[in-house]
Structure 1
């Protein structure tokens, strides 16, 4: 696909060349073009916004009403604050309203399209068309240099531009064409890259003593999952390889190798007190039946097998057994052996080191007119629309800065 305006010379030598036609790249493109910049966007994929199209079950969780800088991970922990303060969820909702795109809130401030994620892509393309942005897809880039201006050699010819924007994302979901392109170019120009890791990703278990986790595949329940001082109250899903579900995806962004994940299987309740009440009532229920009053049956059976005298009724359990079982249910420490990798990761943790980027403009401090935005940088948001909003916000501030440089 390609659409463009202007002559060939204008297309080959734009004011701004953006590599990556995803959420961040398209936002930066029309924001800069609205301010008078001639903008060309290149992408190696056959269509734009492929990650947008598959997100949110095809309805795109495009932002979150509870947007806070504290809900983003970066080695430069305050970096995201400036962009997020200058482009808010309400501003994106104004854009949706202008295009008459209906939306709804699901839970926890998560906003989705009523119809299809394609509405978002079409909106971005319409904004780009109105601002006379040139977009070229199916373009393979072979070399990027900077003899004076940036020079980009591609399968569609050579482009030169004063400003270059890297917006090709991270390594997550390689089947959509994810590559290390932005990292490679950033390193070429002397920027450091924080080691990319899968984030918002299911965790897997390989130790024999925890093989029971996989045996519960399909079981789901609300839990509190935590690593260190960070915890999330959401649903947990047992899988044939380990653990998933929103709570685990969230905590995976904070998990480090060899670190245990603690699961409270009954947050906000007191299992020891529940069992003590059953004992006081002289309950003849055995372990699986007793635990099934509060937990899914298959999970209750497994926990009873591990920690309760299965063949004896609750009335015969010792107080020590009650306390030990209650402790295990509220403080279940599991030891993942890894993740399901970039193939199943929703985003990438790490990326271009933000300590060498301007938080106000996304421009590299040591390479004038080089910008890095979106998932390519070391900023990773929570599950629930945070990462898309980072794409909008970082793209917007870069586009604004590029427009201001034109006016200067």
Structure 2
């Protein structure tokens, strides 16, 4: 090895050591300085990574109650992660639903530049385009892993960018609550006829399914549900799953708890950024936002899965909740109606049709692979671990 080659090799090793020692943002600034001859900018001398540019103080509005488990705490975690990764150059102040704007006003606030970001569920914006439903959850749609695959590698992100871009918003996945429960009911649901006249809180396309089988769907934000149920304004409600439902105290009002929640099989939570703010960011800033959102997308799902299992046991053993599975006849009917509702949403306009077609292709592929992967393994595991009676 020549002395010149040795110098290059040593330089590469030095950079790798620095990457490990200083972390993401610090290493980026170090490498930028190396590539530019090692000179320091004014920002470097103040201890901030020059590549991040100006300091940003951003506002994020949410559709969740303050510090609500999973959803509310997840967005706080996202904001902290961005602050840490940027060494304090990007700070994000979190506003819960109602603190700056109402829960359902979050999208407009960001679109119009009154807030910089939102954290919510895209089906809340279905009045602007039915295509938004496909980026949160649709009845009999995709589970979390399938949604991740479609949006990240199946063309979903590009279509989402096109849709949200019409409203001056840049979207990201930023959380998932997994398969949701079917809901809480004052009376048992033994046949499809038991939905007749039922007033049920259910947003999005799931609400339309309820309407077509004879129920009356009601859209209410999370913070409004308990009061509506306790006062008899609604007869049933879905929210998320055992962890969040226990926190809201639905078990103190009703005891019939149904599964599975066909309306939200893998509910993707979203981060929306004002497009002008996004376009003003440096590549490093954009990378930090993307990485923080990706991390929260995975972290939240893991958190929901472990806490739902624990909370379900608490609901049953300590609160006398009665767990019911919807009958096969009910599920078949819900599936039939769901197919009609989702297809209609996907035919609203050209963009909705392209989203629907892309979504359907991904769902079909996910179902084929899942049948011989997760589903087949789960069945084998149940068989292998079944207790002798």
TM-score (norm 2): 0.24
Q: Which has the larger radius of gyration?
A: 1
- Which structure shows the higher helix fraction? 2
TM-score (norm 1): 0.23
- Which structure shows the higher strand fraction? 1
